[in-house]
Amino acid sequence: MHVLDVTSHQLFKNNVKQKIYDTFKEELLKRRNISSLKEWMFYQKKIMEVFNAAFPEEMFVKLDKIKFQVVKTEHFEHFSIENVNIESVLGWFVNATVYRPSEKGTYYGIVCPTGHSSKTKDNYVRSNQALARNGYITISFDPPGMKGEHQFGNDHFTDGVLSFLSGFWSNTYFVLDAIRCIDYLETRDDIIKGSYGMTGISGGGTTTMYASIIDNRIKACAPVCCVSNSLHHLLEENYTTCPETIGFNYYKHAIDFEMLLSLCAPTPLLLVGGKNDEILNYQLAIETMKHVQVKYKLYGKENLATIYIDPNAGHEYTLKMIEKVAIFFNKYLKKEAKKAISLLKEDILYINQEKLLCYPPDKTCFQSKNKKQFLINNRCFTEKDINNWVHSSEIFINKLTTTTGDAKWAYKISRQIYETNEQMKLPAILLANYLKPTKEVLLFFTDNGKTTHFINEGFLAKTAGMVSSKKQQSPKDVISVDLSGFGELEIEKDGYDFTGWCSQIRNVSYALLFYGSSVIEQRVKEIMAIIKYISKNKQYKKITLCGKGKASIPVLLAAYLSKNIEKTILIDLPISFETMTMYVPNYYLPDNIIYDAPNKFELYEVVNKLKNITLFNPRYGDMNLYKTKKESIYQKQVKIIISESNDYEI
């Protein structure tokens, strides 16, 4: 039963967009009104606190000694390669290939992070080889889970998203691997120490930006085909960005690519793009760079921030781009106004992929690290802690509109709209016995649409006593509501959703995490607003709260925070956030992520705080049923019912 108008599928996303755009507008105005270096340095210091807070402490640990092992060496006419395994994060090994000029001597080192692919692909063999022939030692490596040598448990669109849940941001791997490559280069006798360049394409370009902000040994950076406008890309073009590209809480402070590049100042910067890029709009890169150059000008170094757009390139690292980057490194590393060696396609030796493999030992991965985070926690949560988590301004119901339909037997089916102070409209169905009014109500939320469990003599219809063949002991009115992203408020699909990694709920989930919030937080506040509204009107003396599937988690948290709930019933609740990190694909993701859950609370811990609670079919993250044991994670007052039937007696 449709309650809202035909634009309802955009309502939730538009609400999120407006919230973030308003914040961006205010913050950008503040940033762009900065007119002195002193003002900028003060502002930059505050931004860096937010920037650093997104990373775990492991990011900033300085190693006394770097662990590495040379796997093999190969010599060619103009260069040689060395394959090296370098320890980066707690048993994680970087599978690095070093490209070295054939002539003996000492050289400046350049780190070349790979994009979302393997270092064996043409883009990376070409760029590293060309830079080596221009007199540099380069080092190339696979990012996690990108069709290279680190596959299992490292899918950045699944395991990487779970890194927000565990509090160990997946970008830590990407950036720290690049920094460890510098640490390794520092151990070599053929390297000029303390002054390095970095250049990477696509995801490797993003790594280049982040590493250049963190590591002051990088004296020149050239990110390639990686900059557009992240907010526009995510919320207007509807392309699902990679979760490692933007940190938790960054959008609250308008930290996007423009800000990241500005934080590189005054390090010499060459931004490179392709006019025919299939993914990124080069004009947005040009516009971004104009604002970045303003920040460089505050240092009196506006000439250090430049941009080159290859008129014939797409999303690739062309030989023409490499030539421009080599000239850039000649100027700012070698301090020479020296032309680069211009290479043609036939000058590049495309190496057999087998010769570039390092066979790193996979002792850890995103998935194993995420799970370990739940073993290291400081949880001792209280109601205040969860209230602090639902930290932003309270949502409340401004208006309730009810349209009563025709009577069906002794019942009326009404369409309702709960309108919030954030201009959200939450559609609902009310099923009530008008001949025998009751003072009890079941307030129900599910992820598969508000009418689903009414139809075909569903358990909601039976709860109201409408179609029950036996006398209902205490029939209740039933109000079933679609929360943001569910039912009528499900976000409309887009053409990008035809790919395996894009989806509009991911876009909104990422956007809110980048904003320092989450979809689940939004839903908790919507549930609490409806509970308060119903309680205030005093139509019902008893409220039973029920949630199913993805909705069960926000219902659990709202039940804990609300004071007016008689009973809580949860169907298909995952037993813990920890189990959600263990299974891919995961039914409950990405819209049930609470940032850094190990240091906040666990789901079963909240369950154990409630007095009158029933769990139907608690599950693991992959939706398999929870296997009750003698030493259950649940306390005695928690009623657990395991049943294969979908006919729940509520």
CA angle 536/537/542 to nearest 5° reads 80
Q: What is the pLDDT of residues 547-562, one digit of tens each?
A: 999 999 999 999 999 9
Report the number of distinct structural domains present in the chain: 2
Q: Taking 60 as the threshold, does the pLDDT of residue 469 lie above it? A: no
Residue 590 vs residue 152, higher pLDDT: 590
| Residue 86: CA count within 13 A, CB half-sphere | 29
Q: Are residues 366 and 475 in the same domain?
A: no
Sign of the CA dihedral running 171, 176, 179, 181: negative
Residue 28 within any structural domain of the chain:
no
Tokens encoding 147: 């069709």
Q: What is the pLDDT of residues 316-342, one digit of tens each?
A: 999 999 999 999 999 999 999 888 999
| Alpha-carbon 464 to chain mean position | 41
**Strand 411-420 and strand 425-433: pairing?**
antiparallel
Tokens encoding 172: 């830590």
Q: Are residues 284 and 398 in the same domain?
A: no
Residue type, 188: R
pTM for this prediction:
0.93
Contact between 326 and 131 under an 8 Å Cβ cutoff? The reply is yes
Residue 648 within any structural domain of the chain:
no
pLDDT of residue 440: 96
C-alpha 126/C-alpha 124 separation (Å) is: 5
Contact between 174 and 187 under an 8 Å Cβ cutoff? The reply is no
- Average the pLDDT over 613-627 and give the result: 91
Q: For residue 99, give Cα distances in angstroms to 79, 81, 93, 318, 449.
A: 7, 5, 19, 18, 56
Residue 10 within any structural domain of the chain:
no
372, 403, 433 - which closes a domain: 372
CATH number, position 522: 3.40.50.1820
Q: How confident is residue 515, by pLDDT bands cut at 50, 70 and 90? A: very high
Q: What is the pLDDT of residues 262-295, one digit of tens each?
A: 999 999 999 999 999 988 889 999 999 999 999 9
3-state secondary structure of 139: strand
Average pLDDT, the chain: 92
Q: Are residues 500 and 556 in the same domain?
A: yes
User: Percent of the chain, pLDDT > 90?
Assistant: 72
User: Which residue, 548, 554, 573, is CA-closest to 463?
Assistant: 548
Contact between 101 and 133 under an 8 Å Cβ cutoff? The reply is yes
**Strand 79-89 and strand 92-101: pairing?**
antiparallel
Q: Taking 70 as the threshold, does the pLDDT of residue 391 lie above it? A: no
Crossing angle of helices 171-185 and 203-214, rounded to 10°:
70
Q: Are residues 454 and 539 in the same domain?
A: yes
Q: Are residues 424 and 569 in the same domain?
A: yes
Q: What is the pLDDT of residues 24-79, one digit of tens each?
A: 999 999 999 999 999 999 999 999 999 999 999 999 988 889 999 999 999 999 99
Q: Taking 90 as the threshold, does the pLDDT of residue 366 lie above it? A: no
Residue 631 within any structural domain of the chain:
yes
pLDDT of residue 41: 97
**Cis-peptide, bond into residue 144, ω within 30° of zero:** no
Dihedral of CA atoms 82, 87, 92, 94 in degrees, nearest 10, equals -30
Residue corresponding to tokens 């085909």: 225
Q: Are residues 220 and 353 in the same domain?
A: yes
Q: Are residues 361 and 399 in the same domain?
A: no
Q: Are residues 433 and 357 in the same domain?
A: no
pLDDT of residue 471: 52
Q: What is the DSSP code string of 527-542?
A: HHHHHHHHHHHTS-SE
Tokens encoding 426: 């939450």
pLDDT of residue 7: 77
Q: Are residues 474 and 520 in the same domain?
A: yes
| Alpha-carbon 58 to chain mean position | 19
C-alpha 248/C-alpha 514 separation (Å) is: 5
The full length of the chain comes to 650
pLDDT of residue 293: 97
Strand partners, 637: none
Domain range holding 498?
384-641
Q: What phi, psi does 568 have (nearest 5°)? A: -120, 130
Tokens encoding 438: 């009751």
Q: Are residues 368 and 424 in the same domain?
A: no
Tokens encoding 385: 């802690």
C-alpha 584/C-alpha 367 separation (Å) is: 9
pLDDT of residue 108: 98
372, 402, 419 - which closes a domain: 372
C-alpha 274/C-alpha 310 separation (Å) is: 5
User: Which residue, 506, 515, 560, 637, is CA-closest to 22?
Assistant: 515
Residue type, 112: C
pLDDT of residue 510: 95
pLDDT of residue 470: 54
CA angle 198/200/206 to nearest 5° reads 95
Residue 646 within any structural domain of the chain:
no
- Average the pLDDT over 486-505 and give the result: 92
Residue 337 within any structural domain of the chain:
yes
372, 400, 421 - which closes a domain: 372
Q: Taking 90 as the threshold, does the pLDDT of residue 500 lie above it? A: no
Q: For residue 50, give Cα distances in angstroms to 2, 207, 214, 514.
A: 43, 18, 13, 11
Q: Are residues 327 and 409 in the same domain?
A: no
pLDDT of residue 380: 72
Q: Taking 60 as the threshold, does the pLDDT of residue 381 lie above it? A: yes
Residue 15 within any structural domain of the chain:
no
| Alpha-carbon 139 to chain mean position | 28
Ranges of beta strands (E only) in 244-304 are 269-274
Q: What is the pLDDT of residues 567-614, one digit of tens each?
A: 999 999 999 999 888 877 788 989 999 999 988 889 999 999 999 999
User: Which residue, 133, 192, 624, is CA-closest to 343?
Assistant: 133
CA angle 365/149/52 to nearest 5° reads 45
Residue 329 vs residue 379, higher pLDDT: 329
pLDDT of residue 472: 53
Q: What is the pLDDT of residues 171-192, one digit of tens each?
A: 999 999 999 999 999 999 999 9
Residue 515 within any structural domain of the chain:
yes
Q: How confident is residue 473, by pLDDT bands cut at 50, 70 and 90? A: low
Residue 646 vs residue 230, higher pLDDT: 230
Q: Are residues 357 and 394 in the same domain?
A: no
